[in-house]
Structures are given as C-alpha cells and as structure tokens.
Structure 1
Amino acid sequence: MREVELLAPAGDLEKLKIAFIYGADAVYIGGEVFGMRSAAKNFSKEDMIEGVEFAHSMGKRVFVTVNIIPRSEDIDALTDYIKELSEIGVDAVIVSDAGVFNIVKKVDPNMEIHISTQASTSNYIAANFWYNQGAKRIVTAREMSFEETKQLRENTPEDMDIEAFIHGAMCMSYSGKCVISNYTTGRDANKGSCAQSCRWKYNLVEEKDGEYENVLDNEDYQFFFNTKDLCMIKYIPQIFDSGITSLKIEGRMKTAYYVATTVRAYRMAIDAYYKDPENWEFNPMWLDELKKGSHRDFSTGFFLDRPGKNSNNYESASYIRNYDFIGIVRDVLDDGYIIVEQRNKMSVNDDIEVIGPYKETMFTTILEMYNEDGEPIESAPHARQIVKMKLGIEVDKNYILRKPIIKG
C-alpha cells in the first residue's frame, strides 16, 4: 500500500519535537522572515539547526515556508535567506511566487521545492507546469474536492507529491489571497501579518435612496465571514483513494497541546487504515480527541461538495475549549515520582486525563505535589512552574496532562 505522510505545523522548537514524538512524519516551520505566519514565534537560525538535527535523527523531515508574495526590495535578503536554509540542510522549501522559485533553483538546484496552496493549483495542467519547472510537490488549493484531486492525480507523474490540508482553520478567501486585513488594520496578509479580520463581527448594509438598511436582521448572523474548521478524520479511505500523499494539519500559531492531540488522533486513524484497509471503521474516539483541543465547529470544507451556509459559524468567532492543558512530563524519577512543567493551574486530588504518543487516553488523579524546594503544595498556580508529583498511573517523558474545564 502507498504510504502517506502526516505533516504537522510547528510554530517553535518545542512544537516541532512534540509533533515528531506524537507521530508526525514531517513538519513545516517558518523562519523569522519570509513566511505567511509572522505572528507565530517561528524559528531562529539556531533553533532551526537544532530542529533539523532532531528531525533527521528520527528519520523525519522539515519543510520551511518561504511563501510570501515578495516585492523587488525583498530579493537580495531573500536570496541570502535561501542560501542559509541550504546550509542548514532543510528538506524542502514551500513557495508560492515564481520569482522565489527561480531564486531557489539558482541558489541550490538540488533543493526540494513545494508549491504552496497560495499558488491556487487546482488543475493538472498547472500541476504539470510546476512539476516540469522542477517542483517536487504541489500543495493543492483548499477549494478542491476529492474527485478533482483524484483527476489531478491521474494526470500527473507518479513521483509528484500531492499535499492537501485535511485539518484546521479555513480561510474565507480563495487560497488565502485576502486583503481584508490590509484594509482594516494595515497588516499585510500576503506578507505574513494577517489580523484575521474575517473573524470579526460585522453589520451588512445595503444603500437604498441614500439610506443604509441592514441586510441581515438577525443579530446572530453578524459573523458571516467566519468559517468553521476543517476536519477530515472520518474520511481516511477517501483521502488515500484520491491520491493525496501528504496530509497537512493547519496551525503553526496553535499550542504544543493542539499539535500533540491532533497529530495523535490522525496517527491512530492512519495506522488503523494501514493495518486493515478493507475493514477500516471510523472510531468516534478519534474525533472526541480532536474536540478536546481548542477548536471551532468542524466542517468538511470543499472535499465532499461546495460549502453551503452551514460551512460558517455566524454566531461567534470564539474557540471551543472544553479542556485545559495543565502540564507536560519533563522527567520520570526512579522512586515513581515525575517532574511536570505546569501550563495551567492544577491541584492535588484533581481528576485528570493523560495522553502519550501511540497510547490510549489514561484517567487518573493527582495524588501528591511538591515545589522545587521539596515542600508539599496543594496547587500549582504559577505559569510554567516545575512540580514534582505522583499520579495513580505510570507515565513517560513528554506525556501531556489535561483536565476538563468545569463550566457553570
């Protein structure tokens, strides 16, 4: 069976390592310049070197986004940046602009190039054009269906990779080409500074005889640009059948907890398909796990059909959060205690859940906690507080602790 790549976002070095530990085959990252997510923490040169070394030690790969739409004034610095990426040994660069493509070919003819979703590749003629120029991979436009993707696959060379977003935030504009942020905030979405103005609350009005009347009388419909998140975990067989070779998760600005939970769920679903493709059945637990991370309501985007009115959330742009990420295991001691780095407040006697890579969700209770001076404590309220604790189960490094948010 053809294997697929599970491609995860990594906004910083911690997220990169978590992505690989929890089952990603590759990650995509941004440097400090020339990427489409300038608000993410992103990677310094030193972090990028460490991240690439960590990935290669595990037989994994690192792709770097260079997918802005540059101006002529950017060219000299961009050329130097490509040289730096080549020296670091990144596995591929993701580009959307023909000029950037040519710079990469000139600086390092052997560097693997992926054509970004920003290039809006939605047909096999365009895909073959990029392949003939030397591109190894096409990241398809997010507006493609399974059938359209299958047609593209059937009319392109077998050694050309097809990458598609299968989970995460959707853009209301075609393949991310949006200027609302530029207009409302002066932040250029096409140079990595999108303010997500589409998530804001608006009134839609129509001019009639010099007066403005509300088009939408119902106030519950004022978030009319606000798209739901994409989630395709129910459709793993269709993904394989369509010819997609890389399954991409959106979210370089999301937390390490989001990366871990999302990668872990899709890893389980994909591995279950590898094990028995003929009898693969969707496990509702995988979707439950995705819902335990911060998310919006889910949709299937364009994969099954053109989105209709149910593809947007008109009532609110807020994320749904049902669980708090409370800590990550940094060390396991010989005496049965563990060292945890706190991320949200936790207390003795809290009933919690623990997740680990390639493991089922575990349920336990915090039995004891001690501060760095070895003194017993009842709670850990301080950000990134280092805590020694005992749980009712055995865990390992990089396991994640979470607890339900009590509402009411």
Structure 2
Amino acid sequence: MNRSPELELLAPARDANIGIEAINHGADAVYIGGPSFGARASAGNDVAEIERLVRHAHRFNARIFVTLNTILRDDELEPARRMVQQVYEAGADALIVQDMGLLEMDLPPIQLHASTQTDIRTPEKARFLEDVGFAQIVVARELTLPQIQAIANKLDRAKLEFFVHGALCVAYSGQCFISHAHTGRSANRGDCSQACRLPYTVTDAAGRIVAHDKHVLSMKDNNQSANLAALIDAGVRSFKIEGRYKDMGYVKNITAHYRKLLDEVLATRPALQPASSGKTTFTFTPDPDQNFNRGSTDYFVNGRQEDIGAFDSPKHAGVPLGWVTKVGKEHFDLELDDGVPPLHNGDGLTYFDLQQELVGVQLNTVSPLDNIGRRWRVMPNELMTSFKDLRVNTVLKRNRDMAWVRGLEKKSSERRIPVALHLTRTAAGLALSAQDSEGHRVTVHATHALDRARDSAKAEASLRDNLSKLGTTIFNAPAEAITLGGDVGACFVPTSVINPLRREAIEALEAERLRALPRLAPLPAVEPPALYPEDSLSYLANVFNHKAFDFYAKHGVKVIEAAYESHEELGEVSLMITKHCVRFSLSLCPKQAKGVMGVQGTIRAEPLSLINGNEKLTLRFDCKPCEMHVVGKMKRSVINQAHQASQAAATAVAPITFYRQRPVSPRS
C-alpha cells in the first residue's frame, strides 16, 4: 500500500489560463490536454502553452500532467512519441495514458499515470499496472470504500487516485462503445457523442412501456465532499476533479471548494501534508451548487444508492429560488424563498413543465416590487408564450446567477508561500537571508555604509515595512517572520538600498526553489515482466495497434482480440457495461422484491429495451456482479464509412484483422 504523507488535489484545465487559475486556487496538480491524442478531442493545447503552465505551477511545487489517453492507430504511434518528447522537454511532470502500446516505445523518462480509461476495478489489475511502470493509478468511480481499500492494500509503490467531483460516465470508463457503434465517434478516441444523455423509452420483454422518454442512462454529478476523510482512510492520495471541458468559473469554484475541505482534514492530521506549497485565500465562498450540475451523488462509494440518476433532465436545474405569483402578457412576478440573494439582469431561471421537461428562462430586466427584495417583476428575453405551463405557484430555480458569474470573472484568490526574512549588519553593509516554509534558504548582500538613525524607532518601523512589501511575488512575510540582527534596526537604511536587496533575495529564493524541485521519476517496471491477470483479452481491452498487442503478449496473454474500433465486431455485443442498473432505479430489481408478499419469485431480471427514435438497444442484467450490459451492434453506415476512410488513406491502419483470436506462444 502507498504510504505517502502527501495529499494531492488534482484539477482539470481546458487551457493554460484555466490551469494557472487552478493553481492559484489551490490545486496541487493540473491535468491538461497536449496538442493531440487526449480523451477530450477539442481540448488540446500547444506545447508552448503547456510550458507556460508548467513554469507557473512549478513556482508552487505543483505538477502538470498531460493527457495522452486515447487508443492509437499504428500510424499515430510515432507522432504520439514525438509529442511525448516535446511535452517532456516543456517540463511536463507526467503522462496520463490508456494505450499500452506506448509502454513498448522509446519514451523519455517521464512518469506514467494510468488513465480512468484503463478501467481499474480489481486489486490484481491495479498491481499489474504498478508492476509495468505506472506511478499513479486512478481507480473506477464505481468502487466502494472497501474495494478501494483492497486496491490500496495491493499497491507498494504507486499512488492511488480517485475522482471526487464532476460529470459521471454511466459506463465503466473505457467500456462504452455506443457512440462509435451509432455515429463512428469513438469515446476511446476522445470523441464521445454522449448517447447516455439522450431520452429513452424503456419497454419490457412483452413490449409494454416501463418508462417513457426518460434519461435513464444519465447520472447525477459526482460529489464526494462528505467522504474525503473516509477516502483518505481507504488509501486515496490524489483527489481528482473532472472537467477538462469546463469553464474558468467552474475550475476556480470547485478547486477552491476541495482546497478548503482538504485543508480542514490536513489541520486535523499532522502526519499528512499537501503535495505543493503555499496557502490560498479566496475572495468568495466556494459553492459547488452554483456551477452546472445535474444534482449530486456520491455514486457507489457507500454502496448502491437509489437516487444516482438524473432521469428527468441531463441539464442544470439550478438552486431553489422561489415561486411565481403572477403571470402577465409581457412579464411575470415572483417571490423569493427565505435567504435567497436578489435577482440580477441576465440571471437564468428554470422550472419543470407539466410533462416534467425542464424549461429555461433568461431574464432581460428585473425590478423589485418591495423594499426588502423579496418580490420581483421580471421581463424575460423571449415572449411569454414561449414558456409552456408557466403559471401561478410554479416553483422556480436559478441556474445562472450573474452576480456570482461576474465575481469569478475578477481576481478571486491569492496563493502565497510564507517566508522568513532576517536582515543583519555586516562589515561591508547588509546581509538579507530569506527562508521559505520548506527550508529553502538564500542570503544576498549589499555594500553600503550605515549611519545611526536620528529616530531609531521610526527607522526600524520603516525598515520592517519595506521588507514586508512582497505584493507581486508568490511569497508573504508575516510581521513576526521579519527579524533584524545586531543594531541594524537602529541604522538609517535608504529605500534605494533595501528595496533592491529585498527583490534580489526573493528572486534568488524562487530560483533556489525551482533548482531544488526534483523531476518526478518514472516507476521502474519489475523484471521479469509481470503476468497479466488473465490469459485472454476481448475487444473490451481496446487493443488498437501492434505495440499494444506486443505489450500484452509479452505479459503472458495468449489470445488477444482487436479493439471495437477495428470494426471486426459486427454482431451484437455489449456496447456499454455499467454498475448502474435501470431495473434497480425503476424498482424492478428481483432483490428489491424479496420479502414483499405476493411478488417474491415473480420478478425476474429479464431483458429490457431502450428506444430512441430508430435506435434500439437491449438491456441485459448480470445479477451476480450486479452489472448491466447495454447490447447492440454497429451500424452498417459506420462500417462502410470506416472502410471508405481506410481505402482513401492506405497509411491509416484502421482494421487490424490479424489480431482477432490470434494465439500467442507462451513465455519461456
């Protein structure tokens, strides 16, 4: 088990500017897409931007992880290797990987982290990934605390990472192929079409409607705020926030929220420490409910729950606001709930119509109807006839608070590293020592003849004031951390001498911190090569290139199938495997019926169907592991499109037919 004393808050970044603000708001590490091959296709960044982010992060001993977590075709392997070299030279600290083919390549000595796409659910697989060289491993979001603990107990060297906030993929990560089957857009290649957020009609084996037009595969958003201490006890050391597509306000707010929570835990556990430097203060009170969310759930961490789904809508309903008191031809009036902040022009409201569809209302102008800001008249930016079923007593929520949005558009945090300054007199003039809270220390000197001040108290106060002026740096020096040696406090030291000396000391200290920051070392693979926990792999292993095939063969796998994206799986297969169970969520699970008079033994886990227009999927239930399979087949149009693309670009190795059920000689 990993016994690192450090806790890491790992925040997402769509671009370098957002990544810098994640660091400023308390992140110990940031993960960001490189120029290509990341699992968020439209969230790539130039190497120069990665380097800019690295420079800022390293000032606080924070780390930057670059995502390269798609599966790769053979013709993409060399471009991927070149990209790895570039981001390594830019200073990136680690690479987040899904494709095992990369481990068979000549990469620079960059640390490797296992992506969520590697689908880590068992201690055996986690240990295997540690043994082949992964220094950090993010386990499946579906695991319970005991399951996480079992994995932590199996690890000797790798750090355990867990998602604590953000959108939830309903499938085990890396085990969803619906998008590719229906559209040709592969989730494993960073281009998911999010079929899980669509509405479906659920029918039983007899064709009877069980649920009509419900988003039965859409999950609420992950929120582990209440479980951080328990996750630490279970062995988690890196706390990951989802959201590389999210905006600046989300990253600021959610990073600040978890920074405060982790700091509260750290204050009670002196044996633990944050993974980076500095204390962060905020100009706002973090509130996860203010950002886009579908409601919150802690998913399976504390066992199977009944309320994990956002079945009515995959949109952001917002926080409770009030209710409608009057509906006019061009406006409507409302009254706010107790304690609700006032309305603002541009706010966004929502309500559910009589069919439980979420309706959004953007406010053009608002005006109070009383002196206490409780009753309001609002003019929406659309005709009132656009708002179906808006009537007196309709309950309203607010999903965009412009005051909140504008507040986070400004500077909203400050991150500083405590430093102690000691000024003393020398034979030649002055010596100023600066030491940060981690023990890095520098001393700089100034040659200047010193005379005694006429007013020693005033001179000392001025000296201390000038030494404390660290406003634009990453440091702060509390009054008690500024000390004066000998009689220097009684001397007159001109501002023109002390200010340059202070700047020189702070610049030298920051340079010393960067010099002393070690590069994260790769985790050596064990020898001889570890055996993979199974001796055969299906399309679920996402083997899409020769190098990945060679990797698994080297580690003892005898039968290796091609990835689903190779277009060899043309029949019906599991397009999604998920811990979420539609039967359970609709109260149709056979286990739920146990002990209920008159129904015991009459409810069986028979297949259900999901229908959306012309799309039809079958739900099959594997009750022993308590999992659901969404079964379907690849559209002929997708197959034809792939074949045409392959013929048009002969160098693009799309089908890899020789992998299919190819036996491999056992290792000698």
TM range (shorter): 0.7 to 0.9
Residue 207 (structure 1) shift: 6.4
Among all aligned residue pairs of Structure 1 and Structure 2, give the percentage whose two residues are the same amino acid: 30
Aligned pairs for 1:169-188 within 5 A: 169-188=167-186
* Alpha-carbon distance, 1:214 to partner: 4.6
**Which amino acid letter does the alignment assign opposite residue 312 of structure 1?**
G
Find the aligned partners of 1:325 and 1:38 in 2 and give their Cα distance.
36
Contact 2:48 2:90 in 1 (8 A): no
Matched-pair contact (CA < 8 Å) for 2:203–2:211: no
Q: Which residue of 2 aligns with 1:257?
A: 249
Residue 177 of structure 1 and its aligned partner are, at CA, apart by 2.2
Unaligned stretches of 5+ residues in structure 1: 279-285, 327-343, 360-395, 398-408
Supply the distance in 2 between the matched residues of 1:251 and 1:241 (Cα, whole angstroms): 25
Question: Where does residue 374 of structure 1 map in the other structure?
Answer: none
Please, what TM-score do these two structures have when normalized by structure 2? 0.45
Query: Could you tell me how far 1:204 is from its partner in structure 2?
Result: 2.7
* Contact 1:203-1:214 at 8 Å conserved across structures: no
How many residue pairs get aligned? The number is 326
1:50-93 CA deviation, whole Å, 9 max, x = no partner?
11111112221000111111122221211211221222121000
Q: 2-side partners of 1:358 and 1:201: how far apart?
A: 43
8 Å Cα contact 1:18/1:260 also seen in 2: yes
2:11 aligned partner: 8
Change in Cα spacing, 1:351 to 1:156, as seen in structure 2 (3 Å) is: closer
Q: Contact 1:187–1:193 at 8 Å: present in 2 too?
A: yes
1:235-314 paired onto structure 2 within 5 Å = 235-277=227-269, 289-306=287-304, 308-314=305-311
**Offset, 1:345:** 9.7
Who is 2:115 aligned against? Answer: 116
Q: Would the alpha carbon gap of residues 187 and 149 (structure 1) be closer, same or farther in structure 2, given more than 3 Å must change?
A: same
Deviation at 1:321, TM superposition (A): 3.9
Checking the alignment, whether the CA contact within 8 Å between 1:143 and 1:302 is kept in structure 2 is: yes
Given the two structures, how large is their TM-score scaled by the length of structure 1?
0.73
Q: 1:184 to 1:72 in 2, by over 3 A?
A: same
Q: 2:163–2:242: 8 Å Cα contact kept in structure 1?
A: yes
What secondary structure is seen at the aligned counterpart in 1 of 2:200?
Answer: coil
Q: Does the Cα contact within 8 Å between 2:202 and 2:211 map onto a contact in 1?
A: no
Equivalent position of 2:317 in the other structure: 320
**Aligned-residue CA RMSD in angstroms?**
3.2
Deviations 1:102-161 (A, max 9, x none): 22xx221x210001111112222222222222211111122211111111112211x310
Measured after TM superposition, the shift of residue 277 of structure 1 is 4.8
Cα displacement string for residues 276-317 of structure 1 (whole angstroms, at most 9, x for unaligned residues): 259xxxxxxx997110111111111121113x4421111111
CA distance in 2, matches of 1:193, 1:273: 37
Task: Give the corresponding residue for 2:187.
Answer: 189
1:31 is the counterpart of 2:17: no
What is the distance in 1 between the residues matched to 2:63 and 2:402? 37
Matches within 5 A, 1:339-354: 352=403, 354=407
After superposition, the Cα gap between the structure-2 partners of 1:317 and 1:352, relative to the gap in structure 1 and judged at 3 Å, is: closer
Once residues 116 and 91 of structure 1 are traced to their aligned partners in structure 2, the CA distance between those partners, rounded to angstroms, is 15
- Structure 1 residue 164: Cα displacement: 0.7
- How much has 1:346 moved relative to structure 2? 11
Aligned to 1:63: 65
Listed one character per residue, the Cα deviations across residues 317-364 of structure 1 (whole Å, up to 9, x for unaligned) are 1123459999xxxxxxxxxxxxxxxxx9999x99945463379xxxxx
Gaps of 5+ in 2: 271-283, 320-340, 346-362, 369-400, 416-470, 473-668
Per the alignment, residue 209 of structure 2 pairs with: 215
Q: Is the contact between residue 166 and residue 221 of structure 2 (CA under 8 Å) also seen in structure 1?
A: yes
Structure-2 separation of matches of 1:112 and 1:217 = 47
Tell me how far 1:36 sits from its aligned partner.
0.3
Name the residue aligned to 2:88.
86
Query: Larger Rg: 1 or 2?
Result: 2
1:153-178, Cα deviation, whole Å (9 max, x unpaired): 12211x31001111111111112421
Superposed displacement of residue 216, structure 1: 2.2
Cα pair 2:201 2:211 within 8 Å, conserved: no
Q: Which residue of 2 aligns with 1:368?
A: none
Contact 2:257/2:286, CA 8 A, preserved across alignment: no
Give the aligned residue type for 2:41. Answer: S
Distance 1:215 1:139 in 2: 39
Residue 101 (structure 2) aligns with: 99
Contact 1:143–1:175 (8 Å) recurs in 2: no
The whole-number CA distance in structure 1 between the counterparts of 2:231 and 2:224 is 9
Corresponding residue number in structure 2 for 1:21: 24
SS of the aligned residue for 1:263 comes to helix
* Post-superposition CA distance 1:6-35 (Å, at most 9, x none): 000001111101100000000000113111
SS of the counterpart of 1:270? helix
User: Deviations 1:209-246 (Å, cap 9, x if unpaired)?
Assistant: xxxx3532444xx1001011110011121021011010
Helix, strand or coil: the match of 2:253?
A: helix
Seen in structure 2, the aligned counterparts of structure 1 residues 148 and 217 have a Cα distance that, compared at 3 Å, is closer
